[in-house]
Chain A
Amino acid sequence: MDVRSGVAMFEPAEGLRRLEAFPFALVTWVGEDGYPMSAAINVQMDAQRGVVEFDAIAGLDLPLGAELSLTGSHIRPQPGIGYDERRHVTVWGHAGRDPLGRLKFVPTAAWGWDEAAIPFPEYIERQVGQSRRYLTRVSSELGRVVRPRLSLGWLTLRATRLPFVSATLIPVLIGIAIAAAQGAFDLFAAVLTIIGAAAVHLGLNVANDVFDARSGADESNVNPTQYSGGSRVIQYGLVSLRRMAAISAAFYAIAIGAGIVLLLTRFSMALLVIGVLGILLSLFYTAPPLKLVYRGLGELTTAIGFGPLMLVGAYVVQTLGALSPEPFVASIPIALLVALILYVNEVPDRPSDGRAGKRTLPVILSREAVINGYVLAAAAAFISIVLGVLAGVLPIPALAALLPLPLVLRVRDGLVRYYDQPYGLMAVMAVNIRVHLLVGVLLFGAYMVVLALTRLAPGIPLFIRWP
């Protein structure tokens, strides 16, 4: 079967096999007046000889020798909704008449779509090139450029992948909360930190699309989901590559601006190092010459960037550069779990990533290694929380962050079941994102409890102190 262009062409014999499953066929031909004509007929298949037989159609002349087609089409009505189970097949060929007057059809080509074999979202992706060709034609006919559109709000949401900013907010808020629990808090600096960190993240998201568009990784991915495969605004013609590059640069400019203000008002060498390192890692995640994600370092880069750099960075802004073990230890589970978001989201992308030379861990590793790697890393994240509390570095309420642990088992089971099914993996990816979000929110909540109890009930022990 050839589905490269979105049109599923297959061998005539396969077409006949599929046609046999329909209760009747629609024979279609082009009449002498140039109009197509169709009529429903019952057919008899001779699969061995690759021939279809059917009776003449009363009152209509089938043009023997000319090309005609047999079509089977199926839907399942769903009252109040519409329908599903869409499938159709068309077999082209020529018909002749046997000595008994029956018509014999010999197939030469076949085409069709079955949504059970090619899910609708994938079918859509395979047709993106056709949509571009058509809009080029329409633009030429109308004498003006016709492009697909989205409202500014939806386009912004899609192009920047705004919901993923939670991965930035979590470590930044925890870093600020740890500093506040230790008595260091400046509201202006906190707001500026959040703006700067979010801008780096959005700049990275957009830059990632720019470089994946240039490498062809997103173009060749026909199984994108809402969590993987990029925003696709470039492939869809919604935003030009040049404009996306400009948007990315603008976000980085905002991030650098926020960083400079923070350096001027809250200078510390730790902040300078973290800020520069963060921007470099973000930029060279996909950008040449480093292209870290193409070298099997994407997950590690994400862990460092959205773990210790964000969390400790937000912390040192508040403490004016003073360091302590607490933010480092608190960043370990966040770093591991955010890397696992990327790691699991890369599973459905691995064929297209592999073709584009993007050596992500799911591209490099076997299925078993990827699933075992997920379990090990997730377990390490939760163990680090327990060890952090036992060591007296993290507060006792941080143990609440263990509550999402059962979700890890759901993700593991989902990976086992849907490893090769991109759309089945969508729900798994959603649960995996929830693990990071819930652990982050619960850790942040733990520090809110610490803050409150420190003021309301100073005598209550909040950290384990071994004798």
Chain B
Amino acid sequence: MSWLPKPVVELIETALVTELSVVRKDRRPITYPLIPMWDGEKILMTSSILFSRKLEHLKDNPRVSLSFSDPVALGGRTDRATIQGDARVIDGDPHTDWEQVLPLWSAKEPVITEFLKARVAFPLFFERSVIEVMPRRVFYWPDGDTAHAPEVTTDAGWTGKAA
């Protein structure tokens, strides 16, 4: 059972896109739009090796944040959340490792199974790494208005340091 507030879990499950922010070596924040998936404990995303700069940054610094803020990508929901957490990149076999999340991915983007049948047309797009984010702290805006202070929830077992 996750410690994440229920509305935040719903946001993750609903979101077609989240904004993943990572930190470059020179401390510049960089934000990438990705499809978030929820496995009941962690947030999962995949990234093609074509767009692997983010993976390099994550390997150098696993601290990340995920913003759920666009009502269009959230099925019309107007509440917003930012989740901070620690990321791990799984890329032992970029050809097959990511296929474990295909059921969750295709639930949000059904057309991906059709694309996968034509894997020969985009071979490098389907060489992918899995990004696994363990949530540590959540900022939640029930009305989506950041003029109001967010509700903050923290993982009870978190020491404040990246894993």
Contacts and interface: CB of A to CB of B under 8 A. Distances in A.
A7 B33 CA distance: 15
Contacts of B121: 226
Interface stretch (B2-10, B24-32, B36-44): B24-32
A35 B63 contact: yes
* Interface size of A as a range: 35 or more
Contact of B123 (A39, A226, A238): A238
B43 to A, nearest CB: 14
Best-buried of B27, B69, B162 by chain A (most CB within 10 Å): B69
* Interface size of B as a range: 35 or more
B31 A68 contact: no
B49 A36 contact: no
Interface string B20-64: 011100011111010000000000000011111101100001011
Nearest to A80: B110
A268 interface: no
Contacts of B136: 35
B29 A68 contact: yes
Given A75-B16, A128-B50, A38 B31 contact: yes
B16 A130 contact: no
Contact of B52 (A41, A58, A59, A130): A130
A28 B95 contact: no
B154 to A, nearest CB: 12
Interface string A118-129: 000100100110
Given A34-B23, A69-B29, A40 B144 contact: yes
A422 to B, nearest CB: 15
Nearest to A55: B147
B108 interface: yes
B94 interface: yes
30 contacts: A26-B69, A28-B29, A28-B31, A30-B27, A34-B23, A35-B63, A37-B65, A39-B69, A39-B139, A40-B67, A40-B146, A41-B146, A69-B31, A71-B31, A73-B73, A75-B70, A75-B73, A77-B16, A82-B109, A82-B110, A83-B17, A90-B30, A121-B122, A124-B50, A128-B124, A131-B52, A138-B91, A146-B93, A150-B120, A238-B123
Interface of A: 7, 24, 26, 28-30, 33-41, 55, 57-60, 66-69, 71, 73-78, 80-83, 86, 88, 90, 92, 121, 124, 127-128, 130-131, 133-135, 137-138, 142, 146, 148-150, 154, 157-158, 226, 236, 238
Interface of B: 16-17, 19, 21-23, 27-31, 33, 48-53, 55-56, 61, 63-65, 67, 69-70, 72-73, 75, 80, 82, 84, 91-95, 108-112, 119-125, 127, 136-137, 139, 141, 144, 146-150, 152, 160, 162
